[in-house]
Amino acid sequence: MATSDERTCTSPGCNNPITSNLACPKCKEFGINSYFCAQDCFKMNYGAHKQFHSVIKQVMINNGGAQHRKTPPRNGVSCALDAAPELKLSLPDWAHDFSFSGRLRPALYSPMRTVPPEIRRPDYADHPAGVSESERRDKANHNSIRVYTSKELDAEYGLRHACRMGREVLDAAGKALRVGVTTDEIDRVVHEACIERDCYPSPLNYFNFPKSVCTSVNEVVCHGIPDYREVQDGDIVNIDVSVYNRGGYHGDLNETFCVGNVDDDGKMLVKTAFESLASAMELVKPGTLYRDFGTAIHKTASKNKCSVVRTYCGHGIGSLFHTIPNVPHYQKNKAKGTVKAGHVFTIEPMINRGTYDEYTWGDNWTSVTSDGKRSAQFEHTILVTETGYELLTARENEPVMTWNEDLISR
């Protein structure tokens, strides 16, 4: 816990140290500590600061009122691990009258897993709404993309370490995936693998996400919540892993797996998603415009009559889970910025077999294709070097993405 002299003023552009406990009373109602250096500073900047209250109202559940789209419902969605099978496989309350686009249906999920107190935690881990105040401050005060130093990258618990741990955790999850396993079991494997590596599972409680990994099956585009449904023969399953290490860095990656007897069209989609990411990788070097990645991804996807999701994008990552740059995956986007050595970010195109349109289930997280057709995705965390790039989340002995169907078949 920080002492008062380690804090700086919340007002944008003011870096004065905090010498008292002068805090915004409205923020305190939300469970957030927003400190100011002086009463005059607070009054002068309150007009801008109060806009933050409107954002928080959308995020937090206030006396049973409206929920932020990323805040899962609190009741009727989970049950104990030892509950009866028929209860585990029952629909969540929100799903009974919900209009689904495809065949996939949610089941209940297990209670949120706990993290030992000795594991370093990101700032949102214990926030009642899962809000990252460090990300909020960064968004308000910084408009330049961070350049990481060799010390930050190569320290014992530096950024490379976080990404390497993420790769190990994803590999463990992939090995556990098979016909008949539940995605809740995959969540258990990921959670325990993170703890074994002295890492916090980054998704856990991020804007109240209830699990330690995202598992997206068939028509799910992203942000699928692991539950008690068993993986079926012929499913395609994306496992999206993010970890936060002892040094305070996040690593983020995902892969889509073919489980059992996946049809040729499904295999083609998964390979197209892999090649779409690989095509963008070929452009990563100093001087490339961030908006140019989308053109390469679009060309690759469209060759196989697939579409590129527009709603979600890659992002800067490191000491923050999500930050600038934003990296759209579709053509003719308006992303700002030029790639420079030392930038660290993800590229993670979601490729759909049908339309690029998607919508969110009633759990306020799971994004699905609007036509019910399948979606696939791959993701890496990338470091820009002086001459190109380094895959910080690369498979062992695979510095450049190389398609191998055996590696994603289960």
Whether 223 has a binding-site annotation, put simply, is yes
Looking only at Cα atoms, what is the longest distance across the chain?
A: 67
68 labelled as ligand-binding?
no
Q: Which residues of 307-326 are buried (b: 16+ CB within 10 A; e: fewer)?
A: bbbbebbbbbbbbbbbbbbb
Q: Answer for the pair 189, 172: CB distance below 8 angstroms, yes or no.
A: yes
Radius of gyration for the alpha carbons in the chain, expressed in angstroms and rounded:
21
Say how far apart CA 383 and CA 345 lie, in whole Å: 7
96 is in an annotated binding site: no
User: Which residues pair with residue 257 across a beta bridge?
Assistant: 237
Query: Percentage helix, strand, coil, to 5, in the chain?
Result: 30, 20, 55
313 forms beta bridges with none
Select from 122, 163, 171 the least CA-distant residue to 383.
Answer: 163
DSSP bridge pairs for 383: 344, 390
233 is in an annotated binding site: no
**Which helix H or strand E contains 316, and what residues bound it?**
strand 314-316
The encoded tokens of residue 293 equal 């990645």
127 close to 27: Cβ distance less than 8 angstroms: no
Give dist(CA 103, CA 270) in Å, integer. Answer: 19
Helix (H) or strand (E) holding 369: strand 367-369
Query: Is 379 known to sit in a ligand binding site?
Result: yes
Helix (H, G, I), strand (E, B) or coil at 228: coil
Contact of 238 with 215, CB cutoff 8 Å: yes
CB atoms within 10 A of CB 363: 21
315 is in an annotated binding site: yes
Residues annotated in a binding site for a protein: 223, 322
Binding residues for Zn(2+): 240, 252, 315, 348, 379
Which residues are annotated binding-site positions?
223, 240, 252, 315, 322, 348, 379
